[in-house]
Amino acid sequence: MRPDHRQNQKLIKQFPFLRAIIASPMEPFGYPAETHVNHITDLMIKVQRADGDLMYRQASNIGLGDCSFSFSVGGKRSGQVSRQAEYLFGIDSDLEIRTRVTWPRNSNEGGNQHPIYGYHALWATRDSKGWMTNLVASQIKYLVWVSIQTWHQDTKNDDFETPGARFGQFLERNVDITVYVAPKEGFEKLEENSCVEENLCLDSDAFIRAFIDKNERLIEIHGRLAELCTQFQDDVYFNGMRDIFNPDKNRGASGQFGSIEVLCAEMCGYERIMLQDSRSWISMQLRPESKSLYVLGMNGTLPRLRELIRNIIKAWNSSPETKNAFKVNNNVSVL
């Protein structure tokens, strides 16, 4: 949507602090940066109520100071690569920016400091060890999440020792803003009632750091996912799904069960299974000669991943006819 679109201008008038946020210097800039700092090709503004997931949300920063980048397979983005950065602003009752959370530009930045979550926007300062100080949650009226993405021509330069080598001519800088309204109980109570077990979006990076830091709460969650994987294995995969897939003869299989898509693929003797819906996904793998699946990757909160697996177990065992939705599909590709 154009920045000057009527809907955008209406929301900026309703939330005047958005002008200051939009004008704030935020990576990724255009290219060259000095001429595109505040350039916006597309602006999207949304409003919704804050929840516990926001309190434990983390940024997805890509291509900032390292050699990472994202791309789209085919479509109008063919031959293009992108950078992305995300920010969170705390707005006080005077409709002024009170706090700003800027996540590390890449995973190696920040040393051994504690992870940064959305609820840190409710604190005014951060000490040298990474601990948040000076709680100002009672003063925060809105939280504003900003995602910025730039698109560039892909140079195809694979020099991984040179950050940004893949980013060629600047094409677009798109800004996505969500204004989060405080819940009825306020942000301070929302933070108190939110927890890692219910609200943290889990992925492989979260668990790698958990084992390095000996984070017992996240390690326990990893154990819960392993148990869910075993339930899927016993009630679905080894209960008819693998027989239909028949990885000794086929490269893949797939099926749609309501909102859940199931993908299976055979790769060099490994059997990989992925379950996904609009809110989460989890992949599992069976090694050659092994008798047990293990969790390979995921994205979603523990409750959503639990619901994903429980629903597919329920669907698979609801009736013999339901299994007919799962068929051989040699075009399947699984993360």
Distances (CA, A) of 145 to 90, 142, 181, 255: 9, 10, 11, 35
pLDDT for 109 beyond 70: no
pLDDT at 172: 93
Residue in the structure block whose two tokens are 């505040």: 38
Helices (H) and strands (E) in the chain, counts: 10, 14
Per-residue pLDDT, 38: 75
Domain ranges of the chain: 6-194, 218-328
3-state helix, strand, coil split of the chain in percent (to 5) is 30, 30, 35
Quick one: pLDDT band at residue 211, thresholds 50, 70, 90? very high
* Residue in 72, 71, 68 with CA at minimum distance from that of residue 105: 68
Tens of pLDDT along 75-102?
A: 888 999 999 999 999 999 999 999 999 9
Is the predicted pLDDT of residue 73 greater than 70, yes or no?
yes
Share of the chain above pLDDT 70, in %: 95
pLDDT at 72: 83
Q: How far apart are CA 1 and CA 4, in angstroms?
A: 8
Query: Treating both helix axes as pointing N-terminal to C-terminal, what angle do 204-213 and 216-232 enclose, rounded to 10 degrees?
Result: 130
DSSP-assigned letters across all residues of 205-243 = HHHHHHHHHT-HHHHHHHHHHHHHHHHHIIIIIIIIIHH
Q: In this model, does residue 261 exceed pLDDT 60?
A: yes
Q: What is the pTM of this model?
A: 0.87
* Listed residue (167, 149, 212, 193) closest to 67, CA to CA: 167
The Cβ-side half-sphere exposure at 119, using a 13 Å CA radius, reads 23
